[in-house]
Amino acid sequence: MSETGAGSALSQTRGSLWPWWSNEAWDRTSFTWDLWYGCNYRCSYCWWEMGDLWADLAKKHLILPPEKWLTCWDRIYDRYGTVRVDVLGGEPMRYPSWKELFEGLSRRHLVSITTNLSISMADLRDITDKISPERIHFAASYHPQFAKWEDFVEKVGFLKSRGYAPHVLVVAWPPLLGDLSRWSEAFKKMDVPFTTSVFQGKHEGREYPDSYTNEQKALLGLTIPVAEEQRYRLERESTRGKLCGAGHVYANIKANGDVYRCGQDCLGGAKPFGNIFDANFGLHESPEPCPYQHCSCGEFAFLWEDWSRKKGRRELAVADSLRRGAAREAGRG
Ligand code: SF4
């Protein structure tokens, strides 16, 4: 996709909606947080499923009462102010006491949850009663091997009707490629951004993303929202040696509180550089060169050349988002 194409995809998230959940829009500190490794689905293309890792990973996650986690996040607030927390899993909205956890987390931080939306409608109503659209975003991941289309669409529509700005993600696993256009059209009609994530793994003996045909890449180009995703994930351009803000303006937190510079750092066998339960935890003082050939986890958004280039655009978008949030909160009060 060209810069123009990326811009038009993003424009769906700007304007009347709140873009703070986008890396294109957010210029403050952010974290991804693998809250836990429990999920009610077992999708064939999931990294944990392909590697048969669920049982091993579950030994590492911590099931804690919300206040234990919130103490850590309060310390992060004291040090860095409001940050954006992208919560991943497993399925975050199946973690014990998840509503209390996200309600507490969203008081000081902005929370984006990648969810399969399998929770009940009553729970969805409840969480949206508790947290306003300015504080929480739902990245709704559609997993057709397990989710029912009508149910998923109904929940996405419900979120829209309540003023949230959900976007829908699908993993571009080869057996799903034939349905992408149909799904994309359906969400376009609902004014809901629809994007695909590049499949990374083996299917029918072939390694992906290297085995996507040119035709398939062109199809994916229509649903990949940012140029960097194409460049570094689909086309596999090397990031080694490039200055990167991961570890400095961003970090990847694991389910035991360990903090890595990025997902690739963890996959690459590096040691965590901190743990959020440590009262002295802090990020690196400056960006550092990337030591890896490939950036597989989507964090190339923090490559310093792109981060700096987009900063001006982000400042405008975030200021607008916060202004809207403040106005809305004042209206509620
Ligand atoms: S470019 Fe990617 S792999 Fe390299 S340090 Fe940055 S986030 Fe990590």
User: Please, are residues 178 and 150 in contact by the beta-carbon 8 Å criterion?
Assistant: no
Average pLDDT of the residues in 216-235: 79
**Token digits of residue 302:** 């923090």
Nearest to 224 by CA among 6, 4, 3: 6
Ligand 1 atom closest to Cα of 250? 7
315 vs 216, more confident? 216
Instruction: Return the amino acid letter for 215.
Output: E
**CA-closest residue to ligand 1 atom 8:** 262
Evaluate the omega torsion of the peptide bond into residue 209 and state whether it is cis, within 30 degrees of 0. yes
pLDDT of residue 14: 35
How high does pLDDT run on average in the chain?
A: 87
The alpha carbon of 239 and the centre of ligand 1 are apart by a number of angstroms equal to 7
Percent of the residues in the chain that have a pLDDT greater than 90, as a whole number: 70
- At 229, the pLDDT band (50, 70, 90 cuts) reads confident
**CA-closest residue to ligand 1 atom 7:** 299
The alpha carbon of 247 and the centre of ligand 1 are apart by a number of angstroms equal to 9
287 vs 222, more confident? 287
Task: Output DSSP code: residue 229.
Answer: I
**Token digits of residue 223:** 């649903």
Strands 110-115 and 136-141: parallel
Map out the domains of the chain as residue ranges.
3-332
- At 281, the pLDDT band (50, 70, 90 cuts) reads very high
Nearest to 155 by CA among 125, 110, 186, 133: 125
Ligand 1: residues within 6 Å at CB?
A: 239, 244, 246, 261-262, 264-265, 290, 292, 295, 299-300, 302-303
pLDDT of residue 329: 56
pLDDT of residue 331: 59
By most ligand atoms within 8 Å of CB, the mutation choice from 239, 249, 267 for ligand 1 is: 239
Ligand 1 atom closest to Cα of 240? 4
- At 303, the pLDDT band (50, 70, 90 cuts) reads very high
Nearest to 166 by CA among 188, 140, 197, 196: 140
Inform me whether the pLDDT recorded for 239 exceeds 90: yes
Inform me whether the pLDDT recorded for 189 exceeds 70: yes
The alpha carbon of 267 and the centre of ligand 1 are apart by a number of angstroms equal to 11
Which strand (E) or helix (H) includes residue 263? helix 263-267
**Token digits of residue 237:** 């351009």
Inform me whether the pLDDT recorded for 6 exceeds 80: no
Beta strands (DSSP E) in 46-193 are 84-88, 110-115, 136-141, 167-172
Task: For residues 200 and 195, give the distance between their C-alpha atoms in angstroms, rounded to a whole number.
Answer: 16
- At 324, the pLDDT band (50, 70, 90 cuts) reads low
Nearest to 269 by CA among 260, 280, 278, 277: 260
- At 5, the pLDDT band (50, 70, 90 cuts) reads very low
Average pLDDT of the residues in 6-30: 57
**CA-closest residue to ligand 1 atom 2:** 295
pLDDT tens, position by position, 77-97:
999 999 999 999 899 999 999
Inform me whether the pLDDT recorded for 24 exceeds 90: no
278 vs 22, more confident? 278
pLDDT of residue 10: 28
Average pLDDT of the residues in 119-129: 98
* Residue in the structure block whose two tokens are 């959900």: 166
The alpha carbon of 248 and the centre of ligand 1 are apart by a number of angstroms equal to 11
Average pLDDT of the residues in 269-294: 95
By most ligand atoms within 8 Å of CB, the mutation choice from 300, 306, 307 for ligand 1 is: 300
Task: For residues 40 and 35, give the distance between their C-alpha atoms in angstroms, rounded to a whole number.
Answer: 15
Inform me whether the pLDDT recorded for 228 exceeds 60: yes
Inform me whether the pLDDT recorded for 101 exceeds 90: yes
Q: Could you give the count of Cα atoms lying within 13 Å of 128 in the half-sphere of its Cβ?
A: 22
Residue 130, Cβ density class (10 Å: 0-12 exposed, 13-18 middle, ≥19 buried) = middle
Kindly report the pTM of this predicted structure. Answer: 0.86
**CA-closest residue to ligand 1 atom 4:** 290
CATH code 3.20.20 for 3-332: yes
User: Please, are residues 39 and 94 in contact by the beta-carbon 8 Å criterion?
Assistant: yes
Distances (CA, A) of 326 to 17, 86, 115, 139: 14, 21, 26, 23
User: Please, are residues 223 and 186 in contact by the beta-carbon 8 Å criterion?
Assistant: no
Nearest to 193 by CA among 172, 223, 167: 167
- At 247, the pLDDT band (50, 70, 90 cuts) reads very high
